Chains A and B, each alone.
Chain A
Amino acid sequence: MIRYIYGRDLGTHPRLRDGMFRDRAAQFVRRLGWDLPLTPDGREIDAYDGLDPLYVIWETPGGDHGGSMRLLPTLGPTMVNDYFTHLTDGVRIESPLIWECTRFCLSETADPRVAAALMLAGGEVLEHFGVAHFVGVFDARMVRIYRRIGASPEVLGSAGRGRAAISVGLWSFETEARARVATRAGIAPETSRRWFDAAFGTPPRRTETAHVSRQANRNSQLPREITAAVSVPVA
C-alpha cells in the first residue's frame, strides 16, 4: 500500500525509513552512479531530508520499502532552485502551487507496477492539496520508466547526453493521464483514495461525484475503474 509520511514521523516507521535510504543508495549511487555521500552504514540521506519533507512510500505486503519519492514546497529550499537553475533558464521555480518531487526511487526487487502506484499517489496529492505541478530533477534512465507508466514529464531543460543526461521536468496530471496511470498500477482509484485518506483523514466530499460516476459508466465502454477516475472532480 501507499504510505504518506512526513520526515518527522519516519521514526515510527523504522523499517520503511531504513529500507528507503538503503534503496536510494542502491539506485542513485550504485546503479546510476551519482556522486552522493552515503552514511557509514550505507544510507543515502541528503540535506533536503532534514527539511521534514513529505515522503510517498510504497510498502510491500511484507512491510518493506518498495519505492518512494520525496515532496517539498518550492517556497522553501529545493534541489531545482539550489543546483539546477542552469536547466531552467535561470528561473527560480517558486510557487505555493508547485511542489518539488525528488528521489523517485524503486527497490531492486520492486514489482513493475510500483512506479505507477507512486505516480498515482502523486496524482492524489495534486488533486487534494491544490497543487498544480510537481517539478523535479531526473536521470535519462528514468525517462523510459516514466513513459511506461504513462506519466512522462514535460522537460524544462537538460544537460549532458545519452545516459548521462540530467533533466528538470514538470508533471501536471490531467485526468486522463491519471486514469492511464491507475490502469498501469493495477490499483482502483477508490483504493488509492482510501490510502490517501488513511494518511490524512477523510474530508467532506461532494455527493454528486458518485452520481456523475454512475452516469459515466453507463455511457462508456471503458472499464469501470477508469471511468470512475475520469469523474473525480479536479480541484
Chain B
Amino acid sequence: MNYVSSITPIGKMLTGLESADSHATLQAVSEDLRTDLDVSHVVYHWVSGSGDQYGCGTYDPAWVERYMEKGYLRIDPVVLGCFQSFHPVDWKQLDWTSRAARAFLADAVAHGVGNQGFSVPIRGPNGQFALFTINHFCDDEVWARFTGDRRRDLILLANAFNQKALELQPGRRPQEAAALSPREVEALTLLALGHNRAQVADTLSISEHTLRVYIESARHKLGAINTTHAVARALQRGAIVL
C-alpha cells in the first residue's frame, strides 16, 4: 500500500504541510522541500476561477518580478503546455522550438531556473487551477532517474500543496474533516487493531484489491502519507474509535 516510498523525506513534508496555517508556513515548507529533495527549485502557483493568483516557492524574487514585467505568462511553455490538463509533464516534453520560448528559457536559466523540470497540473474546485513544479540543473539520465523514482511522491505533494492553499483561501469556511464512509472506517479500525490486510479483507468479505482502494481513498481524505499515518490520523480525529 505504500505508494509513498518510505525512504523519501516526503512524509515529513506532508506532515509539515498539514499543520501549515499561513502562506508564510507554506513558503517555508517549499524551502524545506527544496533542501530535502536536493533540487534547484520548488514552486507552487495557482489561479482561481475568478483570476486571483497566489504562489510560493524558491525562485529568486528578481526572476518572479522579471517574469511578471515581461509578461512571460503568455509564452512560458510550461504554463501553456499544462494549463487545464491533469497529467504530469516533464519540461522536455514541451514545445520549446519558438524563438520566444528559447529566449524565455535562456533568461530563466540565467536567473537560476533549472534546465530540467517536472510540473504537476491540478484542477481544483470551481475552475481553480494550480501548477506544482520541481526543477533542477542536471543531465537527462539523472533527471529521468529522479522523476522515475519520485513521480507519485511529487503528485501527492502537489495535491497536498493545493489542498492547503485552498484551505488558506480568505473567506473560506473552516473545512469539515472529509467524511469517511462506514466501510473505510471499518477497514481502518481493523488495521488499527493490528489485523493484516488479508485478515481485514476476509473480515469485510472483500478482496485485497478492493481493500487497497478503500484504504487509498481514506488515505487521501485524511491527508495521510501511508496506511500507518492514515490510521494514526483517523484515531487522532476521532474518525475511528477502538
Contact = CB atoms under 8 A, between A and B. Distances in A.
Contacts of A75: 122-123, 159
B209 A94 contact: no
Given A73-B86, A93-B217, A94-B217, A202 B92 contact: yes
A91 B183 contact: yes
A123 to B, nearest CB: 15
Interface string B4-48: 000000000000000000000000000000000000000000000
Contacts of A202: 92-93
Contacts of A203: 90, 92-93, 144, 147
A235 B143 contact: no
A212 interface: no
Contacts of A133: 213, 216
Interface stretch (A95-103, A109-117, A142-150, A180-188): A95-103
A202 B92 CA distance: 7
B210 A204 contact: no
Contacts of B116: 204
A56 B158 CA distance: 25
Interface string A189-203: 000000000001111
B213 A98 contact: yes
Interface stretch (B58-66, B68-76, B106-114, B148-156): B148-156
A170 interface: yes
A129 interface: yes
Nearest to B146: A204
A52 interface: yes
Contacts of B207: 154
Contacts of B176: none
B84 interface: yes
Interface string B168-206: 000000000000011110000000000000000000001
A93 to B, nearest CB: 5
A97 B152 CA distance: 8
A132 interface: yes
Contacts of B214: 89, 91
B145 interface: yes
Name, among B87, B94, B140, B209, the residue most crowded by chain A CB atoms within 10 Å (CB to CB). Answer: B87
Contact of A130 (B140, B145, B152, B220): B152
Contact of B88 (A54, A129, A201): A129
A95 B93 CA distance: 25
A117 B213 CA distance: 26
A223 B240 CA distance: 51
A90 B183 contact: yes
A92 B181 contact: yes
A93 B216 CA distance: 8
Interface string A1-36: 000001010000000000000000000000000000
B87 A129 contact: yes
Interface string A210-228: 0000000000000000000
Contact of A132 (B3, B84, B87, B89): B3
B84 to A, nearest CB: 6
B163 to A, nearest CB: 10
Contacts of B147: 203-204
A54 B181 contact: no
Contacts of B156: 96-97
B211 to A, nearest CB: 10
A42 interface: no
B93 A170 contact: no
**Which residue of A75, A130, A204, A235 has the most chain B CB atoms within 10 A of its CB atom?**
A204
Interface string A138-179: 000000000000000010110000000000001010000000
B209 A154 contact: yes
Contacts of B141: 204, 206-207
B137 to A, nearest CB: 13
B221 interface: yes
6 A-B pairs with the lowest CB-CB distances in the bound complex, closest first: A201-B93, A204-B140, A203-B90, A89-B183, A130-B151, A154-B209
